[in-house]
Every structure is written in structure tokens, then in C-alpha cells.
Amino acid sequence: MHELGLMDAVIRTVGRIVKEENLTSVRKIVLEVGELSGTVPRFITNCYEAVVADTQYQDTELVLEIVPGIAHCNDCHIEFRIDIESLCCPICHGKNLTPIAGKDLTIKEIEAC
């Protein structure tokens, strides 16, 4: 479950920003979660809660925004929203695909007060 490591990294990044910007506390963290990022939103939420427990972020709300996974089929030359269950082209059912969007997990926004 690499979500735990990811959330640890997110909190460390947030901590750095808090320090740089001289923020006192963080009300909300918005994460963009790509469907192709290999992470499970439910695990992200669970791991986040584990990581922030008993820290200054324990009351910080985590908001997840799911980014659809878009892929390009190198055989049909079409772009489509990928079905993460099957991971194949809806036209030729091939797997010669290049992911275009939804690969990343990024911090989109930090709401501080």
C-alpha cells in the first residue's frame, strides 16, 4: 500500500509550504488523484488519517478530486477515457496505449488561515 508513503510525502510538502509562507494552520488540502495514478481514493483517505493523527494537521480536511484517465490508442489513433478495470482500447481492444491524462497525484490547493 504505497498510499501511506504518498500521504507522508504530501504532508511533508504541505509542511514546507506552511513554513515558507509563514502560515499558521491549514484548513483544507485539495489533492488531484488521477485514475491512472495507481492509487485508491479510499486508501488515500485512510492513510491520510493515519499520517495526520496527533499532528498539527489532524483537523485539516482532505478533499480528493478525481482526474479521469485518458489514453491514446497507438493503433486506432483515438483518445478515450480508459476503463481501469480492463486497460484496453474500446475499439480494437488492444493494449498498445499511451496514457495522456490522469497519471499523477498532485497537491492542487492548500487552504490556510
Task: By CB under 5 A, name the one of 9, 17, 50, 91 that touches Zn ion.
Answer: 91
Residues 28, 62: Cα–Cα separation, whole Å: 6
Does residue 75 belong to the site contacting Zn ion (CB under 5 A)?
A: yes
Residue 95 CB, nearest approach to Zn ion (Å): 9
Does residue 76 belong to the site contacting Zn ion (CB under 5 A)?
A: yes
Quick one: which of 40, 48, 61, 56 has its CA closest to 9?
48
Which three-class secondary structure state does DSSP give residue 40? coil
Residues numbered 12 to 51 that lie near Zn ion (CB under 5 A) are: none
Residues that bind Zn ion (CB under 5 A): 73, 75-76, 89, 91-92, 94
